[in-house]
A and B are shown apart, each in its own frame.
Chain A
Amino acid sequence: MDSDTQPKIALHKFSSCDGCQLAFLNLGAGLLSVFEQFEVVHFAEAGPVADDVPVLISFVEGSISTPDDLARIKQVRANSRYLITIGACATAGGLQALRNLADDDGWVESVYATPEYIDTLDTVTPIRAHVPVDAELWGCPVNGTQVLNALHACRNGTLPVVEHDKVCLECKRQQTVCVMVTRGLPCMGPVTRTGCGALCPGYARDCYACYGPAENSEDGILRDRFAGLGLNNKQIEHRFTSFTSAAGMTRDVNRRKGTE
């Protein structure tokens, strides 16, 4: 396929750990196939750099935390037919969004001796808080199946199917023994979106909600159960606010959009 007919794609990075880009870079020979089927115009870690070119699909990793990020995400939106967020940071703030919840102002000062050199916004926010997003892929990190599905769906003019089921359902499908029922572990599976393949219960531990909130979750009932397992209020709060603490900003939108 020559470059006139190849759909153009881009991958833009904001504040993140780079782990979601690895969903592409870990595809093995599949990575070469993506580069054959699509013209990758911007994907700095893989080589191509052209961050202001109109594309069919922009994948966006990372959350917005600096004034420069704000200007850049608007440019990405203007250049993209489909803007797909990949991962917890882009979709729900990521771990760094925990600083939004801090009750003291001294976070930057606690790490940097000269905080005036550090130029950040007051809050860490997901992409949806600033520009319209066509689909949000949850997960910390997203996996290769998720990004490939999105790539091929958008190429065919549709949006990827996004999982809304709970991790619990995936455990039942896999016949994984429930770690909360049998071992009393404070598993977040009952309120967490699946897509990971219910990895943690399969590895004999409690889910820690890295795929964000599932649809219609009964958070209150689970909090009560955790209290019954002996967790104190702080520990329960931490279970519910780690990797996707800014999810509230996007949750209503996702519910409305359903599985389009």
Chain B
Amino acid sequence: MSKERKLNIKVPVLARVEGAGALRIKIRQGRIKQAELDIFEPPRLFERLLIGRDYHEVPDMVARICGICPVAYQMSAVSALEGIFGLDPGARVRAMRRVFYCGEWMQSHALHIHLLALPDFLGFDSAPAMAKAYPDEVRRGLALQALGNDIIRLFGGRSVHPVGACVGGFHHTPDRPSVRQLLDKLQASLPQAEALLRWTAALDLPEDDQDFCSVSLTHPQDYPMIGERMVSSSGLDIGIEDFEDYVNEYQVPHSTALHALLHGETYLVGPLARMNLNQARLPPATRELLAECSIRFPSRNMYHSLIARAAEIHLALTEAIRLLEEDSDAQPLRVAPQVRAGTGFGASEAPRGLLYHRYEVTETGTIASARIVPPTSQNQARMEQDLVTSLENYGLQHAADALQLRAETVIRNYDPCISCATHFLRLRVEHD
């Protein structure tokens, strides 16, 4: 095919991502000259509208940044605010927050795997279309998504913008019969989570090894969810209070989501980065299951993110069962804060990756400033880099629709949360 061919591809709305944005790819002389992920999230200015609010309003307000990962926003926020007040909510609150978070990983990952990503790899344009050929697999996925929502509902009343979390713990303590009922359901679902991981590990995913720096939180014993230190595959190991010294956010003309670089380099956050950095902290059952599959982490193949998500569903289910079984009424699920002025930092691993919050609070508990860095902003520069590498590896001589599908697959594979960061995704491939 001639290198001089002129080609314009336009996709008004990219399907199967959370929100919408635009992609602009320019190909000249058989090379990609420009690959930009255009993000037109109408700015909702959360960092500004929090100013002047009472600290206790923050968890309910920041949840509204994202309908798919509200728990992540609530957990990063309460961690930061508790840091300011010098409040340790205790082992039981920490354990139950982890269960709450497990629910979010399960529902978000199951949604992404089945409704957003898998149709690309199995050759369908939507999950309902895929369900005709893979009815059992799709139903299993939707059941695991529902189970994650059940966990969130136990603590929060509803799975989208749950109402249970507060600074100091939870407003409400679940009653024992409800916990027992959910535990039975979780235990009965373990075989489904195992089957999902085995199935995804055996899928014929594209081979596309790339060089990238993985970044995640870290914890001495556990696979990280809420944490105080972050590490990278390049040897970084810092407290999250130093996040802004290492990560620079900058604005680009084509996006309302700020881009972020670590020491001037792109980096990856999310399930693959977590799995690459924290395999030693997987629960034994998940580690043994992975060992039986042909997949090996750390992996440099971005498409292994799908398998990492399936492994994290298994991990989340295993962890939720363990923590709920160990739970007792010995400690309260809420500790009252002593309000004082200060600046606090909170970080947690949203389903899509590290979510950083910083708040400054006055002595009466009013928010004086807020900084929120969502995972999709951090991945955005890496996604653009991946587009160039992946499409060039794939071969720019391919037909326009094949190039378009591959470009969309690359973006969808990151599970970009465009509600957190983006809106309209348009793809224009220009050859000249």
A residues with CB within 8 A of B: 13-23, 25-26, 28-29, 31-32, 35-36, 40, 44-49, 51, 65-66, 68-69, 94-96, 98-99, 102, 107-108, 110-114, 117-120, 140-141, 143, 196, 199-200, 202-205, 208, 210, 234-235, 238, 242-243
- Residues on A with C-beta less than 8 A from B156 are 203
- In the complex, are the beta carbons of B20 and A44 less than 8 A apart? yes
Question: Which of A22, A118, A234, A238 is within 8 Å of B43, CB to CB?
Answer: A118
Across chains A and B, which 9 residue pairs bring their CB atoms closest together, nearest first?
A19-B67, A47-B126, A35-B128, A96-B44, A203-B172, A65-B42, A15-B42, A205-B171, A199-B157
- In the complex, are the beta carbons of A95 and B423 less than 8 A apart? no
- In the complex, are the beta carbons of B139 and A47 less than 8 A apart? no
Residues A118 and B256 in contact in the complex (CB < 8 Å), given A95-B64, A112-B251: yes
- In the complex, are the beta carbons of B45 and A200 less than 8 A apart? no
- In the complex, are the beta carbons of B172 and A205 less than 8 A apart? yes
- In the complex, are the beta carbons of A25 and B111 less than 8 A apart? yes
Question: Which of B11, B18, B60, B139 is within 8 Å of A29, CB to CB?
Answer: B139
User: Which parts of B1-35 form the interface with A (CB within 8 Å)?
Assistant: 11-20
B61 within 8 A of A: yes
A-B contact pairs, 30 of them (CB 8 A): A13-B20, A13-B423, A15-B41, A17-B65, A17-B66, A29-B142, A44-B13, A44-B17, A45-B17, A46-B115, A47-B15, A47-B119, A65-B42, A66-B40, A68-B424, A95-B46, A96-B42, A96-B44, A96-B49, A102-B48, A108-B45, A114-B251, A118-B256, A141-B158, A199-B163, A200-B163, A208-B57, A208-B60, A210-B161, A235-B54
What is the bound-complex CA distance between A143 and B250, given in angstroms? 37
- Residues on B with C-beta less than 8 A from A29 are 139, 142
- In the complex, are the beta carbons of A25 and B163 less than 8 A apart? no
Of B143-151, B219-227, B347-355, B381-389, the stretch lying at the interface with chain A is B143-151
- State how many angstroms separate the Cβ of A110 from the closest Cβ of chain B: 5
B residues with CB within 8 A of A: 11-20, 40-49, 52-54, 57, 60-61, 64-68, 70, 107, 111, 115-116, 119, 125-129, 131, 138-139, 142-143, 145-146, 149, 156-161, 163-164, 166, 171-172, 250-251, 253, 256, 258, 418-419, 423-424
- Residues on B with C-beta less than 8 A from A19 are 64, 66-68, 70, 160-161, 419
- Identify the closest chain A residue to B159 (Cβ): A26
What is the bound-complex CA distance between A120 and B41, given in angstroms? 10
- Residues on B with C-beta less than 8 A from A102 are 48
